[in-house]
Amino acid sequence: MTRRFELYGSLRIALYLLVASGALAVSWVEGRPVWLALVVLAALCARWTVDRGTMRPMHPNVGSVLALLLVLYFCYAALGSVQAGKSREAVLQLARLFCGVQVILFFSPFRPSMTWIYFGCNLLVLLLSGLLLPGPSLLARMLAFYFCLAQALLLHGLLRSEGAVHAARQQQLGRHAGESQPRQWLSGALLARALLLSLSGAVVCLLCGLLLFFVWPRFADNDPRGRAVDSDQRPDGERDTPTEGLAEALAGLPRTVGFSPELSLENLGPLRPDASQALKVVADGPLRQLASPSGYLYLRGLAYAVYSDNRWQPVTKRGLRLRSPERQFIELPGDAPHFLVPAGRPKQLALHLEPLSPMGRVLFASAPVRRVRPPERADDRLMVDAEGMLQAGVDLEPGDPWCSYSVHSYTPVWPEDLGPQAQAMLPDSARRYVEWTSRRAPEIMAMAAELTRDLDNDAAKALAIRDHLRSSGRYRYTRFLNTLQHGSARVADFLFAEDPKQRAGHCGYFATAMVLLARAAGLPARVAIGFASPTSDEGSELVVLNAQAHAWAELYFAQAGWVVFEATPAGEPETDLSAAPMPGDEGTLARDAPALEAESNAVAVEPASETGAEPEEAEGWQYLTAFDGGAQRRLFSRLGTRAAPWSLPALVLALLGGLLWWLWKARKPREATLGRHADLPARSRNVVRFYGRLLQILASHGFRRAPGETPRELADRVLREGGSAFRAVRLVTTGFERVRYGDQTLSREELAELKSALRRVPTPE
């Protein structure tokens, strides 16, 4: 016997799953399955009590009071989070509020129209989770939401259509529309098909969205004729499209200095220092032991080795996952290139760091690092990316004591410590540290050759390049990037501009120029971003400001590891916040220090756009967030196509339009099938088809069913007017009534008899 499910109960289960998808999004953001477990337990309780009739639904007034108390509690918690500067926690409180209100609805009187309330609440929860955790997991959360929503809307439509059919049938029989409404059932086969259809629709929607994302033209990188124009081929100052001019205008807006996981030279807006606190550092000894000769503590957060289209990009290579046993320190491999123990530097200093501003998952440390104790909030998990950078397992909340962490660092090797015998070498034979491209590569190579002429050791070559950028007086530091007129090749224009006023930039320009010139001279180099903060002689505590976010170059030397090369000269005295001396200093730092108020990535305002992905996932997600016109052209080139940018999206839109047209054409037959006959067993559906064929035969004889005429009334009229030749009509009609209105299943013998009777009905010549 075919298994059946009650339509009302199936809709309730679908709504429970829809709320669970929202709770899943909240739990994913929190990193704890608390809300998901709460919603699942509440759904099971409501299913076994209210849905089964063992407990009456909650009185509406009681539900309203509980909902009001819930709103007051979570609004109070959200306001407290805002006042404490925890905006992320405030948004999370709103998402929890929507989940809690839906739990109350589980035990309230249910009406099918409440489906739209569940839909709206969970849509808001999904949007809020996307704001808090816009990582690759957002695709999984969207897929779960779309699947549950499609299933709930389908069952809601079936329930409403069955109710309309019952009301029409009661009206035909002259009864009140609300009398003796039977329980509506759903066959197991139809439910399985509905589940498959919902899942397929959710997957198709996501795939179509991703496909359009990759093939839709990037207007700012195409000319009016739809032809892709490479940025290196445009004349300086030429604008191809109005949207590109808008992008350039927006790029000229002021930007706030602060740490960001991106390093781009594209934006030319002025920089405004941010004097808010970023990190609190407490050491077990004087911080000056880890400071540079000029007295600055370099806290490295991220490093990049691939430079393309005026942007530093992460390496798409899987890193390491480590875990601390019982809150102990994790020993990093001292023989690994990124954690190389410097020769003759056995002294270590413990640093305890606490984030005071949103930093995502980045863990800052003075390199080289020997051991790390991850934040307890991250369940003692430590991620190490391909560049040896450290990240926690979860986002770190500012001011949360459970998000503090500790590192043990060796005394760094500085350029002045390198002797004539120091030899630059490739770590792990990674060619990415010496590879580079530029439209003006010959000029850069010529400059590197000129600067390193007659120098016979690598340390001297690196110092010559650094001193040329920092101390020659040819280049100057500036925060007012809107005064520059650099073309598409930012670094080359910065190095070779004829106008001295155009040979200026922030720390990102100087660090990038240092790396490219070093690579042109055959020296392995990369860019690092983090903070550089002045220290006092004996101080062991330090509060790092966001204005001290910085970028610098690092070169790799044998027996020394990565060595910091500071190429940025001093900034304008009247605006240089970070160059100001610390209390108790005599001002020497202000004269010798680099301009550290420049932001680490040139222009980014937000801390971390991707804070929720694992390190290896973040690399792929960053490829999506940085997918611009240049990346799209490179993708087309790898696919071996030179098609116009509009061809692929036009094809996709045409396919989607054809699919929608087909669904629209098939809408009425499908609705009729799902609403009236699809829930019947196989033999019963055959009876319905027999009766449909009978109606066609009778219509060919002129016997058409009148509006409001029942099947029995039609059969009696045919026998009166057509005579004994139509006696088989009564038999087929009786079988149809037993199946459709009597909820009976005919035997095989009865089905064969009906089929034989249908053959005996006369057909026109």
pLDDT tens for 401-441 read 778 899 999 889 999 888 888 889 888 778 889 988 887 88
Q: How far apart are CA 593 and CA 577, in angstroms?
A: 11
CA dist list (Å): 536 to 346, 388, 543, 568: 23, 29, 12, 21
User: Considering the chain, what percentage of its residues have pLDDT values greater than 90?
Assistant: 17
Which pLDDT does position 515 carry in this prediction? 95
Cα separations (Å) of 259 from 82, 249, 479, 672? 22, 23, 15, 60
**Mean of the pLDDT values across residues 235-262?**
48
pLDDT above 60: residue 11: yes
pLDDT of residue 190: 60
Query: Predicted confidence band at 81 (pLDDT cuts at 50, 70, 90)?
Result: confident
Q: What is the mean predicted confidence (pLDDT) over 86-97?
A: 83
How many of the other CB atoms lie within 10 Å of CB of 498?
A: 6
507-520 and 441-451 helices cross at what angle (nearest 10)? 80
CB of 536 within 8 A of CB of 520?
no
Taking residue 565's Cβ as centre, other Cβ atoms within 10 Å add up to 23
d(CA 190, CA 51): 22
- pLDDT for 606: 33
With the CA atoms of 540, 547, 611 and 432 taken in that order, what torsion angle do they form, in degrees rounded to the nearest 10? Answer: -90
pLDDT band at 352 (very low <50, low <70, confident <90, very high): very high
3-state secondary structure of 566: coil
Better pLDDT: 82 or 522: 522
The predicted pLDDT at position 628 comes to 56
Range 32-40, long-range pairs (CB < 8 A, 24+ positions):
35/96, 35/99, 38/99, 38/103, 39/99, 39/102, 39/103
How wide is the angle at C-alpha 630 spanned by C-alphas 625 and 635, nearest 5°?
85
Q: Is the pLDDT of residue 737 over 90?
A: no
Q: Which residue has the higher pLDDT, 96 or 200?
A: 96
Six token digits for residue 216? 């839709």
Distance (Å, whole) CA 554 – CA 563: 5
* Contact call for residues 174 and 131 (beta carbons, < 8 A): no
Amino acid in position 665: K
Is the peptide bond preceding residue 368 cis, with omega within 30 degrees of 0? yes
pLDDT for position 566: 94
The 3-state DSSP class for residue 75 equals helix
Q: Which long-range contacts (CB under 8 A, 24 or more apart) does 756-759 make?
A: 757/728, 757/731, 757/732, 758/690, 758/693, 758/694, 758/728, 758/732
pLDDT band per the 50, 70, 90 thresholds, residue 582: very low
- Looking at residue 73, the DSSP 8-state letter turns out to be H
Query: How high is the pLDDT of residue 431?
Result: 86
**Which of 55-59, 280-284, 378-382, 696-700 is predicted with the least confidence, judged by mean pLDDT?**
378-382
What is the pLDDT at residue 247?
A: 38
Please give the backbone phi and psi of residue 477, each rounded to the nearest 5 degrees, phi first. -85, 140
> What does the alpha-carbon distance between residue 531 and residue 295 come to, in Å, rounded to a whole number?
13
Q: Which residue type does 388 have?
A: G
Range of lowest pLDDT (210-224, 442-456, 557-571, 649-663): 210-224
Residue with tokens 């990093």: 332
> Residue 661: left (phi > 0), alpha (psi -120 to 50), or beta?
alpha
pTM: 0.51
d(CA 532, CA 579): 10
567, two tokens: 């190429």
User: What's the mean pLDDT in 10-25?
Assistant: 88
Residue 511 above 90 pLDDT? yes
R_g over Cα of the chain: 36
Q: Cβ(349)–Cβ(283) under 8 Å?
A: yes
DSSP state of 241: S
Question: What's the whole-number mean pLDDT along residues 539-550?
Answer: 89
CA 386, chain centre distance (Å): 21
Q: Is the pLDDT of residue 60 over 90?
A: no
pLDDT at 512: 93
Region of residue 651 (left: phi > 0; alpha: psi -120 to 50; beta: else): alpha
